């Protein structure tokens, strides 16, 4: 019986190699793990060889698997190039995760820019807490994550810094010097919460957490209700109903980096990082009028 190597199983096989496992490959391809496993079994049946074998809790490619991986990349590249020649695109999805800090200003412009720089990808955004985004990267559910972090890690692409500003309700008045500053903050862990408390402590200003929230809307609502001040990254766009404070110590900015999942093509990370660097170099006023975000997936968290 004549055997064939179909395109879908080859994509799954390459994803297993690039992502470091079946579960991550399934997440990156938006398939079930069973479907990816079935694809690999089809390739093993077609070739008559064992391509992936168990190694402890993980797996590794056999010598035949390594050979097929090289050939699979060539086959897929020629396949996609041929479709492109006829004006047909093999659209892939790239999931970009972000915390809420600055997302309202950054993500709409990022979506518009990536339509030009990543034409063969459908971009979907996920808004979640930093810890959840890191878990998503490890599991392959998120391809790229915008995180407030300074990290010496090959997966992190530094893109710039976010300026931080104190905000309060218009009627809020700073307590007497001996009284602690009431601070509204995100639940731990949170880089903004840490930076707020460290900034006040460095200037010997007592502080107390007066309200906590898991989402940006909750933080802004508590600040607007006069419960205290909050440190936010808003790219210079003052939230409605709040005012910026210049009577509190100016905090150091937080570095922003794009983290990529294992196995993601480097060109995707490079183009997203380059787009963000250009966006952060724009004056804040130019980011005030933002286009609508398409394919935006919201999740609880900040």
Q: Which residue segments constitute the domains of the chain, with CATH numbers given?
A: 7-85 (1.10.10.10), 92-160+254-298 (3.40.190.10), 165-244 (3.40.190.10)
| SS3 at position 124 | strand
pLDDT grade for 150, boundaries at 50, 70 and 90: low
- Looking at residues 95-122, what average pLDDT do you find? 74
Q: Given this model, what pLDDT does residue 125 score?
A: 81
pLDDT grade for 220, boundaries at 50, 70 and 90: very high
- Looking at residues 172-177, what average pLDDT do you find? 90
Which range of 9-23, 141-155, 156-170, 252-266 scores highest in mean pLDDT? It is: 156-170
**Helix (H) / strand (E) containing 162:** strand 156-162
Look at 106 and 194; give whichever has higher pLDDT.
194
Q: Given this model, what pLDDT does residue 1 score?
A: 57
Of the chain, the percentage scoring pLDDT greater than 90 comes to: 33
**Helix (H) / strand (E) containing 136:** helix 130-139
Q: Given this model, what pLDDT does residue 197 score?
A: 95
Cis upstream peptide for 136 (omega within 30°): no
Q: Given this model, what pLDDT does residue 300 score?
A: 35
Cβ neighbors of 290 (< 8 A, separation 6 or more) are 104, 105, 108, 109
Look at 113 and 198; give whichever has higher pLDDT.
198
Average pLDDT, the chain: 82
Query: 3-state DSSP: the chain helix, strand, coil percent, rounded to 5?
Result: 40, 20, 35
Is residue 286 scored above 60 in pLDDT?
no
- Looking at residues 278-302, what average pLDDT do you find? 50
Is residue 297 scored above 50 in pLDDT?
no
What are the C-alpha distances in Å from 208 to residues 73, 180, 197, 285? Answer: 56, 6, 9, 33
- Looking at residues 164-176, what average pLDDT do you find? 94
Intra-chain end-to-end CA distance of the chain, in Å: 56
Q: Given this model, what pLDDT does residue 102 score?
A: 59
pLDDT grade for 182, boundaries at 50, 70 and 90: very high
Contact between 51 and 63 under an 8 Å Cβ cutoff? The reply is: no
Is residue 77 scored above 90 in pLDDT?
no
User: Which of 193-202, 256-265, 276-285 is predicted least confidently?
Assistant: 276-285
Which range of 86-100, 218-232, 249-263 scores highest in mean pLDDT? It is: 218-232
- Looking at residues 1-17, what average pLDDT do you find? 86
Contact between 16 and 40 under an 8 Å Cβ cutoff? The reply is: yes
| SS3 at position 249 | coil
């Amino acid at each position: 019986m004549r055997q064939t190597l179909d395109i879908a199983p080859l994509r799954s096989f390459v994803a297993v190699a690039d992502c470091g496992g079946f579960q991550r490959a399934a997440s990156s391809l938006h398939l079930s793990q069973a479907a990816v496993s079935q694809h690999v079994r089809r390739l093993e049946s077609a070739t008559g060889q064992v391509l992936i074998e168990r190694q402890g809790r993980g797996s590794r490619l056999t010598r035949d698997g390594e050979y097929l991986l090289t050939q699979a990349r060539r086959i897929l590249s020629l396949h996609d190039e041929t479709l492109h020649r006829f004006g047909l695109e093999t659209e892939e999805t790239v999931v970009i995760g972000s915390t809420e800090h600055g997302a309202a200003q950054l993500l709409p412009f990022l979506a518009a820019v990536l339509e030009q720089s990543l034409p063969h990808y459908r971009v979907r955004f996920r808004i979640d807490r930093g810890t959840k985004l890191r878990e998503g990267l490890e599991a392959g559910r998120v391809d790229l994550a915008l995180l407030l972090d300074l990290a010496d890690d090959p997966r992190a692409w530094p893109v710039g810094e976010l300026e931080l500003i104190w905000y309060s309700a218009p009627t809020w008045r700073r307590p007497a010097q001996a009284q602690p500053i009431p601070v509204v903050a995100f639940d731990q862990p949170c880089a903004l919460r840490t930076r707020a408390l460290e900034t006040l402590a460095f200037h010997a200003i007592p502080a107390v957490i007066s309200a906590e929230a898991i989402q940006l809307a909750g933080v802004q609502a508590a600040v607007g209700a006069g419960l205290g001040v909050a440190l936010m990254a808003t790219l210079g766009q003052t939230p409605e109903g709040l005012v910026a404070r210049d009577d509190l110590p100016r905090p150091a900015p937080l570095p922003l980096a794009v983290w990529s999942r294992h196995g993601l093509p480097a060109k995707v990370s490079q183009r997203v990082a380059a787009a963000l660097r250009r966006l952060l170099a724009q004056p804040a006023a130019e980011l005030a009028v933002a286009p609508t975000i398409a394919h935006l997936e919201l999740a609880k968290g900040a």
